[in-house]
Amino acid sequence: MMKIKTAPVFPAFKPLSIDDREIISGHFLAYPTELSDYTYTNMFIWRHYYRVQWSMLDQWLLILYNPMQWGHYFLQPIGPAGRPDLTIHILKWLRDEKDEPEPRVDRGDRAYIEELAGNPELYIEPVRDQYDYVYSTEELIKLAGRKFHTKKNHLNRFTKTHAFEYETLTANDVSECIHVLKKWCNWRECEKNLIMRAEFEAVHEALIHFSELHITGGLIRIQNQVEAFAMGEMLNKSTAVIHVEKANNKIDGVFAAINQQFAEHAWAHTEFINREQDLGVEGLRQAKKSYNPHHMAEKFRIRLHHASD
Tens of pLDDT, residue by residue over 1-58, are 444 458 999 999 999 999 999 999 999 999 999 999 999 999 999 999 999 999 999 9
Q: Does residue 68 fall inside a structural domain? A: yes
Residues 78 and 210 in one domain: no
Residues 152 and 256 in one domain: yes
Q: Does residue 167 fall inside a structural domain? A: yes
Residues 214 and 258 in one domain: yes
Three-class secondary structure assignment of the chain: CCCCCCCCECCCCEECCHHHHHHHHHHHHHCCCCCCCCCHHHHHHCHHHHCCEEEEECCEEEEEECCCCCCCEEECCECCCCCHHHHHHHHHHHHHHCCCCCCEEEEECHHHHHHHCCCCCEEEEECHHHCEEEEEHHHHHHCCCHHHHHHHHHHHHHHHHCCEEEEECCHHHHHHHHHHHHHHHHHCCHHHCHHHHHHHHHHHHHHHCHHHHCCEEEEEEECCEEEEEEEEEECCCCEEEEEEEEECCCCCCHHHHHHHHHHHHHCCCCCEEECCCCCCCHHHHHHHHCCCCCEEECCEEEEECCCCC
Cα separation of 10 and 13, whole Å?
A: 7
Q: State which residues of the chain have pLDDT below 70.
A: 1-5, 307-309
In sequence order, the β-bridge partners of residue 122 are 304
- Taking each helix axis from N to C end, the angle separating 194-208 and 174-187, rounded to the nearest 10 degrees, works out to 170
Amino acid 80: pLDDT: 97
Residues 146 and 108 in one domain: no
Q: Does residue 159 fall inside a structural domain? A: yes
Amino acid 50: pLDDT: 97
Cα separation of 305 and 41, whole Å?
A: 33
Q: Does residue 81 fall inside a structural domain? A: yes
Amino acid code (one letter) for 175: S
Pairing state of beta strands 216-222 and 300-304? unpaired
Residues 161 and 117 in one domain: no
Residues 158 and 270 in one domain: yes
Q: How many domains does the chain have?
A: 2
Residues 123 and 136 in one domain: no
Q: Does residue 2 fall inside a structural domain? A: no
Residues 127 and 146 in one domain: no
Residues 118 and 53 in one domain: yes
Amino acid 68: pLDDT: 83
Q: Does residue 292 fall inside a structural domain? A: no
Residues 247 and 117 in one domain: no
Cα separation of 159 and 163, whole Å?
A: 7
Q: Does residue 286 fall inside a structural domain? A: no
Backbone angles phi, psi at 42, to 5 degrees: -55, -50
Q: Does residue 283 fall inside a structural domain? A: no
Amino acid 5: pLDDT: 55
We report the CATH number of the domain holding residue 111 as 3.40.630.30
Residues 140 and 267 in one domain: yes
Amino acid 306: pLDDT: 72
Residues 154 and 93 in one domain: no
Cα separation of 190 and 176, whole Å?
A: 19
User: What's the domain range around 161?
Assistant: 132-276
